[in-house]
Homo-oligomer: A and B are copies of this chain.
Amino acid sequence: MEFAVVKGGGVTTPRGFTAGVAEAGIKYQGRYDLALVVSEDPAVGAGVFTTNKFAAAPVQVSRQHLAAKTGCRGFVVNSGCANACTGQEGLAAAKMMTKVAAEVTGYQPEEFLVASTGVIGVNLPIEKVQQGIREAGRSLSYERGSLAAQAIMTTDTRAKEIALQIEIEGKKVSLGGMAKGSGMIHPNMATMLGLVTTDVAITGECLQQALVMANEESFNMVTIDGDTSTNDTLVVLANGRAGNTLIEDVQSTAFRLFSEALCEVCLSLAKMIAGDGEGATKLLEVKVINAPSLVDARKAARSVAGSSLVKAAIFGKDANWGRIVCALGYSGAEFEPDSVDVYLGELLVAQKGRGLDFNEAEARKILAKDEVLIIIDLKAGTFAGRAWGCDLSYEYVKINADYRS
């Protein structure tokens, strides 16, 4: 399927969505750290959240609001403070964020989802956040989608946003998304914030199902450092402005079309996150083919993309295929070790589980690129899976050795 990418598009590309931002000064100074995204029409929402037992206060509040099924009007997001491990105070602060967002827009608190990212265990500076939300509310416009993508960054080196258009039953449907990633990116809900908008008309149930599927193929296949955070949040709002017939059947062609587009949005954002991992100099893509099942393919791909030793070797441009098969060997995926072929890009470096006398200079050239592709042929079935990660650099250690200060 082909998707029309909307150049420079983001969360305000779908019709009826506006965004506002503010410099609340929560942790960072002189930059936006608060974003508010609002739908002019009532919307339905769906969400996938962290599996971490220490789910942050905003995650708990967003879950409650989605469960209430009152419909959604928008989301409010801050960077610089995760509002995690902050007890009852933290819960009250997260609720307060939705309350102020409601006040400034004229809707209900339950219609807002909330997300936070930053240091764990620090209380939100309530006054600053309230003031920030009000300021963001006053600045709502169609032009501020990209500023919102900037506002949610922490150690990200670049903003991450995308917008696509598809046609469903003759109607133009748009999807827009923004994300923040960097450290703590891992399967089991790729530990990040992903915020998606769309003007499709769809039921909440269908939207949730499409999101779960998209998440599994995208954010859950991204790994930076193996840590799953307390704040992982992927939400999507759909306001129906596109005017298509309401999608209410997961077997329908319309659902499939929308699903694929949502997956593409999530995939694009997930890859941006992988390529911008803390200290990363390269995007690593691991493609496992001919696996006995989808689960095996994904397990194998994630294991290789997540191996510290593989990642360090990629950083060093070292074609150490032994570490690739080693990570494959402990992945838990089913295959015969003596059948496995490994490629770096198009260069076959190991065949039937054994190393070849490949051209080291050519391998080095492949590993010197900004994007490195590892292909693993398990020859054990017909399923394929892809995972993304980044190299492990000195810079990663530096960023994470003293993050709090």
Q: Footprint of B on A, CB under 8 Å?
A: 51-55, 82, 84-87, 119-122, 183-184, 186, 188, 225-230, 306-309, 312-313, 315-318, 320-323, 325-330, 335, 337-338, 350, 352-355, 392-394, 396-405
Contact = CB atoms under 8 A, between A and B. Distances in A.
Nearest to A401: B316
Given A51-B330, A355-B122, A394-B397, A307 B85 contact: no
Consensus secondary structure, chain A interface = loop
- Chain copies in the assembled complex: 2
A360 to B, nearest CB: 9
Given A315-B397, A393-B397, A400-B316, A350 B227 contact: no
> Which are the 9 A-B pairs with shortest beta-carbon distances?
A120-B322, A316-B401, A312-B400, A121-B355, A52-B329, A54-B329, A228-B330, A316-B402, A53-B329
Given A54-B337, A85-B322, A121-B350, A397 B392 contact: yes
Nearest to A84: B322
22 contacts: A51-B330, A52-B326, A53-B330, A53-B337, A54-B325, A84-B326, A85-B325, A85-B337, A85-B355, A121-B321, A121-B350, A184-B309, A227-B323, A230-B329, A308-B308, A316-B401, A316-B403, A318-B401, A318-B403, A392-B397, A392-B400, A393-B397
Contacts of A322: 82, 84-85, 119-121, 230
B309 A183 contact: yes
A86 B352 CA distance: 10
A338 B54 CA distance: 9
A330 B394 contact: no
